[in-house]
Structures are given as C-alpha cells and as structure tokens.
C-alpha cells in the first residue's frame, strides 16, 4: 500500500478497512487480520495499525473477541457507508464543485458522465461474471 503525505497513515489504513468492508471482502462476523499481520502486510509500525483498530472499535466497526482476534460487526457495512458518505460530501464534493465552477460545467454534464461510467462498470462486472 502506498501512503499519501496528505493524510495520516492510521487514517489511510482506516480507509483501507472501509474499502474492504464496502466491497464485501470483509463481511460481518468475519475475522480481520491481526494487528501484527496487517502491520507486516502494509509495512507499517504495529502501533500505527493498533491506532486504526482502536478507532474502528470506537466506531463499532470491529469488535475484539479477547484471545481470538478482531471481527467485523454486523452493523459495520451500514456504519462504514455513513462515514464514507459523510467524508465524501464534506471533503471531496466541494472540490468537485469548485472545479466544475472553474470549468463552467453544469450538473447535467456531470450526471451524463456519471451514467456513462456506471454503465461501463456494470458491463465490466457482467463480463467478469461470465468468465
């Protein structure tokens, strides 16, 4: 994993968590990698990973089953979606709107591009399923 200088590493690991949960790679009730294993996989300090795990526990996204490991909570997908959506609306979307304003773009043009992108994604997903 390549880390950006613009965001703390533990928060980028949280984003990695969010992505795995939203994409269904880590499902409710499933065990997530141990702190030590994830630190090795991501080539970061275990203390940094533990900071992320603490954050995930505080947000009730993972739960520690003492002596066994960390597991994705049943409500994690809904909670993660809410968190990521709020981040997108507060951080990313204003930048998009600012760029649109500078370019003189209207929302209809963005909507057209979004629908084109979405149909491409659906088609690619369908082709993968057929393989």
Count structural domains, the chain.
1
The answer to whether residue 72 is domain-embedded is yes
The string of pLDDT tens digits covering residues 14-51 is: 999 999 999 999 999 999 999 999 999 999 999 999 99
The answer to whether residue 94 is domain-embedded is no
Q: What's the mean pLDDT in 2-23?
A: 92
CA distance 3 to 5: 7
- H or E stretch covering 69: strand 69-72
The answer to whether residue 58 is domain-embedded is yes
* Owning domain of residue 51: 9-76
The answer to whether residue 59 is domain-embedded is yes
Q: Is the pLDDT of residue 1 over 80?
A: no
The answer to whether residue 110 is domain-embedded is no
- CATH code, domain carrying 13: 1.10.10.10
The answer to whether residue 43 is domain-embedded is yes
């Amino acid at each position: 994993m390549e880390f950006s200088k613009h965001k703390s590493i533990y928060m980028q690991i949280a984003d990695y968590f969010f992505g795995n949960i939203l994409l269904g790679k880590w499902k409710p009730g499933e065990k997530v990698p141990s702190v030590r294993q994830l630190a090795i996989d991501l080539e970061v300090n275990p203390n940094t990973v533990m900071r992320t795990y603490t954050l995930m526990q505080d947000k009730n996204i993972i739960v520690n089953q003492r002596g066994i490991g960390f597991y994705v909570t049943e409500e994690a997908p809904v909670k993660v979606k809410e968190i990521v959506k709020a981040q997108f609306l507060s951080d990313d979307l204003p930048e998009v709107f600012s760029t649109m304003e500078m370019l003189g773009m209207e929302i209809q043009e963005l909507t057209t591009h979004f629908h084109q992108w979405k149909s491409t994604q659906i088609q690619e997903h369908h082709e993968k399923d057929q393989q």
